[in-house]
Amino acid sequence: MNKYIVDNTKMESNRAAEAELDTNNNRESKRAKSCAMYAIEGEILNSYAEKSEQKEPTTCVSNGEEAKDENRMLWNPKNSKIQVSKTKLKQFQFMVENKYNINFDSYNDFQKWSVDNYTDFWRDFWHFSNIVHSKNYEKVIDKPEGPVDNLPFKWFDGALLNYAENLLRHDDEKIAVYSFGEAFKKVKSISFKNLRERVRIYQNALRLFGVKKSDVVAGYMPNSIECLEAKLAVLSLGAIWTCASPDFGSHSVIDRFQQIKPKFLFSVTSVAYNGKKHDHKTKLIEVVNGLSSLEHVVIVPFYDDKIDDIHDIPKSLTLDDFLDKHKNEFNDRPIYFEQVPFSHPSVILFSSGTTGTPKCIVHSHGGTLIQHLKEHLLQGNMSRDDIVLYYTTTGWMMYNWLVTSLAVGATIVLYDGSPVLPTVNVFWDLVDQLGITMFGTSAKWLAVIEERKCIPKNTHKLDTLKFIYSTGSPLKPSSFDYVYNSIKSDVILGSITGGTDIISLFCGHNISLPVYRGEIQSRHLGMAVECWNEDGKHVYDTCGELVCVKPFPSMPVHFSNDPEFKKYKSSYFEKFPGVWAHGDFCMISSKTGGVSMFGRSDGTLNPNGIRFGSADIYNAIEGFDDIEDSLCVGQKNPNNETEERVILFVKTKSPELFNQSLVDGIKTKIRTDLSTRHVPSVILPITEIPYTLNGKKVEVPVRRVIEGQNVTPSSSLVNPKCLDLYKNIDALKKW
| Contact of 121 with 144, CB cutoff 8 Å | no
Q: Decide which of 643 and 331 is more confident.
A: 643
Instruction: State residue 260's pLDDT score.
Output: 98
Euclidean distance between CA atoms 108 and 525, whole angstroms: 9
CA distances from 310 to 251, 316, 473 (A): 21, 7, 39
Q: Does 499 share its domain with 376?
A: yes
Euclidean distance between CA atoms 659 and 645, whole angstroms: 21
Q: What is the DSSP letter of 605?
A: B
Burial code (b: 16+ CB inside 10 Å, e: under 16) for 470-483 equals bbbbbbbbbbbbbb
Euclidean distance between CA atoms 668 and 713, whole angstroms: 35
Instruction: State residue 323's pLDDT score.
Output: 94
Domain assignment present for residue 529? The answer is yes
Q: Does 499 share its domain with 579?
A: yes
Query: With 90 as the cut, is the pLDDT of residue 29 above it?
Result: no
Query: With 60 as the cut, is the pLDDT of residue 230 above it?
Result: yes
- Global pTM value: 0.81
Of 371, 370, 447, 382, the residue nearest 408 (C-alpha): 382
**Over residues 41-66, mean pLDDT:** 32
Judged by DSSP in three states, 470 sits in strand
Q: What is the DSSP letter of 241?
A: E
Domain assignment present for residue 568? The answer is yes
Q: Cβ atoms within 10 A of the Cβ of 233, count?
A: 25
**Over residues 547-557, mean pLDDT:** 98
Instruction: State residue 735's pLDDT score.
Output: 86
Query: With 60 as the cut, is the pLDDT of residue 15 above it?
Result: no
Of 661, 665, 659, 630, the residue nearest 647 (C-alpha): 630
Q: Does 594 share its domain with 624?
A: no
283-304 pLDDT, tens digit per residue, is: 999 999 999 999 999 999 999 9
Euclidean distance between CA atoms 422 and 518, whole angstroms: 31
Helical axes 250-257 vs 660-673, angle rounded to 10°? 50
Q: Does 543 share its domain with 633?
A: no
Query: With 90 as the cut, is the pLDDT of residue 692 above it?
Result: no
How many angstroms separate the first and last alpha carbons of the chain?
Answer: 55
Backbone angles phi, psi at 220, to 5 degrees: -125, 70
End-of-domain residue from the set 543, 575, 600: 600
Q: Does 366 share its domain with 494?
A: yes
Euclidean distance between CA atoms 198 and 176, whole angstroms: 12
Instruction: State residue 695's pLDDT score.
Output: 64
**Over residues 397-406, mean pLDDT:** 97
**Over residues 97-114, mean pLDDT:** 98
Of 36, 156, 133, the residue nearest 89 (C-alpha): 36
Burial of 332 per CB tally in 10 Å (0-12, 13-18, 19+): exposed
Euclidean distance between CA atoms 567 and 558, whole angstroms: 9
Q: Does 550 share its domain with 574?
A: yes
Domain carrying residue 121: 12-149+353-386+466-600
Confidence class for position 524, pLDDT limits 50, 70, 90: very high
Domain assignment present for residue 301? The answer is no
Domain assignment present for residue 220? The answer is no
Instruction: State residue 697's pLDDT score.
Output: 82
Q: Does 505 share its domain with 377?
A: yes
Domain assignment present for residue 556? The answer is yes
Distance of CA 541 to the CA centre of its chain: 25
Of 373, 343, 365, the residue nearest 125 (C-alpha): 373
Euclidean distance between CA atoms 669 and 76, whole angstroms: 50
Give the number of residues written for the chain. 735
Q: What is the DSSP letter of 10?
A: T
Q: Does 592 share its domain with 634?
A: no
Query: With 80 as the cut, is the pLDDT of residue 38 above it?
Result: no
End-of-domain residue from the set 569, 600, 631: 600
113-123 pLDDT, tens digit per residue, is: 999 999 999 99
| Contact of 242 with 219, CB cutoff 8 Å | yes
**Over residues 690-710, mean pLDDT:** 83
CATH of the domain at 684: 3.30.300.30
Domain assignment present for residue 196? The answer is no
Q: What is the DSSP letter of 68?
A: G
* Amino acid making up residue 220: Y
Cis peptide before 152 (omega within 30 of 0): yes
Instruction: State residue 171's pLDDT score.
Output: 96
Query: With 90 as the cut, is the pLDDT of residue 730 above it?
Result: yes
**Over residues 64-93, mean pLDDT:** 83
Backbone angles phi, psi at 48, to 5 degrees: -65, -25
DSSP states of 344-410: SEEEEEE---TTSSPPEEEEEHHHHHHHHHIIIIIIT---TT-EEEE---TTSHHHHHHHGGGGGT-
Of 682, 693, 689, 684, the residue nearest 716 (C-alpha): 693
Reported as type and span, the H/E element at residue 311 is: none
Instruction: State residue 476's pLDDT score.
Output: 86
129-159 pLDDT, tens digit per residue, is: 999 999 999 999 999 999 999 999 999 999 9
Q: Is the dihedral of CA 513, 515, 519, 524 positive or negative?
A: positive
574-623 pLDDT, tens digit per residue, is: 999 999 999 888 999 999 999 999 877 776 788 877 777 787 798 789 88
265, β-bridge pairs: 218, 297
Query: With 80 as the cut, is the pLDDT of residue 696 above it?
Result: no
Instruction: State residue 70's pLDDT score.
Output: 60
Burial code (b: 16+ CB inside 10 Å, e: under 16) for 419-439 equals ebeeebbbbbebbbebebbbb
Domain assignment present for residue 439? The answer is no
Q: Does 515 share its domain with 663?
A: no
654-684 pLDDT, tens digit per residue, is: 999 999 999 999 999 999 988 888 999 999 9
Euclidean distance between CA atoms 190 and 335, whole angstroms: 18
End-of-domain residue from the set 572, 600, 628: 600
Mean per-residue pLDDT over the chain, rounded: 88
Q: Does 570 share its domain with 712?
A: no
Domain assignment present for residue 552? The answer is yes
| Contact of 251 with 226, CB cutoff 8 Å | no
Q: What percent of the chain has pLDDT over 90?
A: 75
Q: Does 596 share its domain with 611?
A: no
**Over residues 331-358, mean pLDDT:** 86
Backbone angles phi, psi at 393, to 5 degrees: -90, 170
Backbone angles phi, psi at 690, to 5 degrees: -75, 140
Distance of CA 399 to the CA centre of its chain: 8
Confidence class for position 472, pLDDT limits 50, 70, 90: confident
Number of domains, the chain: 2
242, β-bridge pairs: 218, 348
Cis peptide before 147 (omega within 30 of 0): yes
Euclidean distance between CA atoms 585 and 66, whole angstroms: 20
Q: Does 381 share its domain with 501?
A: yes
Backbone angles phi, psi at 94, to 5 degrees: -65, -35
